[in-house]
Amino acid sequence: MPQYVILFDGVCNLCNTFVQFIIKHDKKDKFSFAPLQSNYAIEVIKNHNLNNNQLQSVVFIANQKIYTKSNAALQIAKHLGGLWSLFGCLNIFPLKLRDAVYNYVAKNRYKWFGKKQSCMVPTANLKNKFLQ
């Protein structure tokens, strides 16, 4: 299993934009990706006993540890490094508050940003970053 894996909603426009952002800023080529709809993600979800409430948008796996919701976003920023790691200071806010904001955005993401009919297909040069 790769060191850093991001599971994301493959039909969500916001999530796909987030993945493209990470790819662009992942200077050390640390991250791998899998849509939640993929066999890889389904197997990870099953093996880690995650429930649908935890899977509203993004799951981050770092060294076999699972992060969800706002913790996932903050951990991803931390591992992107550079100025992005400064987002870690948002940990000063209580988890309940951070996840409430995260849940609000996740609940409205299709309405605000739209939804694709199917998961994105990575280009040939990005295919190795996506897990099946």
pLDDT of 18: 92
One digit per residue, the tens of pLDDT, for the chain of length 132 reads: 678 999 999 888 999 899 999 999 998 899 999 998 889 988 888 888 887 555 667 899 998 899 999 999 999 999 998 888 888 888 899 999 999 999 999 999 989 999 887 676 677 777 888 887
The count of domains in the chain is 1
- The 3-state secondary structure of 63-100 reads CCEEEEHHHHHHHHHHHHCHHHHHHHHHHHCCHHHHHH
pLDDT of 108: 93
Q: Which domain holds residue 114?
A: 4-129
Quote the tokens at residue 103: 């849940």
Closest Cα partner for 69 from 83, 59, 80, 81?
Answer: 59
Query: What pTM was computed for the model?
Result: 0.88
